[in-house]
Structure 1
Amino acid sequence: MNILILNGSPRKQGKISSLLHEAEKSLIEKGNSVTFIDVSSIKFNFCIGCMACRSKGKCILPQDDAHKVAEEIKKCDGIIVGTPVYWGNMSGSLKSLFDRMVAVMMGESKWDIPVPLHKGKKALIITSCTTPFPFNILAAQTTKAEKALKEILGYSGFKVSKKIRLAGTKGMKEVPAKALKKAREAANLF
């Protein structure tokens, strides 16, 4: 299978990156092809809201890295999205990238109803936040970020088969072995 991993964390050695790389290793060991994209390292312009992508089927902005990510989304069999939780949501760079992905994520019916373009593909969401458990859920930090990602992926046809949450990361030196194991095991869903 061809799996796309989107790392929404700007920290290449951070908790999200560690969990995503653990899942990546497991996928490769099982013979999958994996494309790993550090969203904060790519260069792309923000969506300008022109809505031309809806009729053209692709973004009309000048060619940039968002167009390359769009091609990876089209050809993937599954996706893993990881993000730190910022104010109860995904990272800004990841949200900006998804804003540019509308044309490759979903189409529209003649009644302007979203038409998913990735039906049958699986997805995994990995989040981390400094808020300790259970307050990350009670304060809706983690759950709001997951909800935003589930909405994007769901309208696109991806079925979110698993979520991994790492709470209470403030002062955490290393990702706990239990969380790394969960990331490895979650890769089995593909």
Structure 2
Amino acid sequence: MKVVVLNGSPRREGVVSQMVGHVVRNLPAECRVEAFFVHGLHVKPCTGCMRCRTLGRCVLPEDDGHRVAAQLREADAFVVGSPCYWGGMSGELKVLFDRCVYAMMGERENGMPVPLHKGKRAVLVASCNTIWPFNVLFRQTGGVFRALREILKWSGCKVVGKLAKGGCRKCGELSVKEMRKCRKLAKKIC
């Protein structure tokens, strides 16, 4: 089983990176993991030309967006994490998904989407500085999950688990309970 991990955090030691790391470390040994630290990728923004819909590939000059798209196509499951920026996912993760749309879903002649990852599983993690329960009430981490679910739903994926951590400015480390939840997310992948 191949698991593609998209870490949308700009911080290698940040809360999202910690959560993603705990999930990955607890995946079964037979899982092959292809992890991407999105902040370190070179991905030119999508120009909206829509040619990828008919060609099945992006027409922009070769960059890391093409490499990630190839890995997404081969994936059996996904782990996606992002900090909350203005109630949504990080901009770099959004740019990556925009560029990889052709690897996530196709399109019929009448314009209806065709999911390319039907039945595959995904787990999501998110963090924000807003303290709990306000991160939920003010739709901070919920906004991240809503945006990621939209992408994954139209791709055919089923989100089988999620974990949010609020108040990260004051507490930038995972608790034992949160680490346990990450282990549970790893078990839901397979």
Q: TM-score, normalised by structure 2?
A: 0.97
- Asked if 1 retains the 8 angstrom alpha-carbon contact of 2:82 and 2:90, the reply is yes
Give the SS at the match of 1:3.
strand
Aligned length: 189
Q: Tell me what 1:55 maps to.
A: 54
State whether residues 15 and 172 of structure 2, in contact with CA within 8 Å, keep that contact through their aligned partners in structure 1: no
Query: Structure 1: how far apart are the matches of 2:140 and 2:173?
Result: 21
**Once the 2 structures are TM-superposed, how far is the Cα of residue 16 of structure 1 from its aligned partner?**
0.5
> Which residue pairs with 1:5 in the alignment?
5
- Indicate the residue corresponding to 2:162 in structure 1: 163
Distance 1:100 1:167 in 2: 29
Which segments of 5 or more consecutive residues in structure 2 lack a partner in the other structure?
A: none
Superposed CA RMSD: 0.9
- The whole-number CA distance in structure 1 between the counterparts of 2:39 and 2:16 is 13
- Secondary structure of 2:132's match? coil
Aligned to 1:19: 19
Distance 2:171 2:143 in 1: 22
**Could you list the runs of 5+ residues in structure 1 that have no partner in the other structure?**
none
1:46-88 per-residue CA deviation (whole Å, 9 max, x = no partner) reads 1011110011011111111111100110111000100000100
Secondary structure at 1:79 match in 2? strand
Deviation of 1:30 after TM superposition, in Å, equals 3.2
Change (3 A) 1:173 1:99: closer
Query: Paired residue for 2:93?
Result: 94
CA distance in 2, matches of 1:56, 1:31: 34
In structure 2, C-alpha distance between the alignment counterparts of 1:124 and 1:73, rounded to whole Å: 15
Secondary structure of residue in 2 paired with 1:98:
helix
Equivalences for 1:98-137 in 2 at 5 Å?
A: 98-137=97-136
Sequence identity of aligned pairs in percent?
A: 43
Cα separation, 1, equivalents of 2:110 and 2:51: 17
SS of structure 1 residue aligned to 2:35: strand
* Residue 85 (1) aligns with residue 84 (2): yes
CA–CA distance in 2 between the matches of 1:167 and 1:126? 11
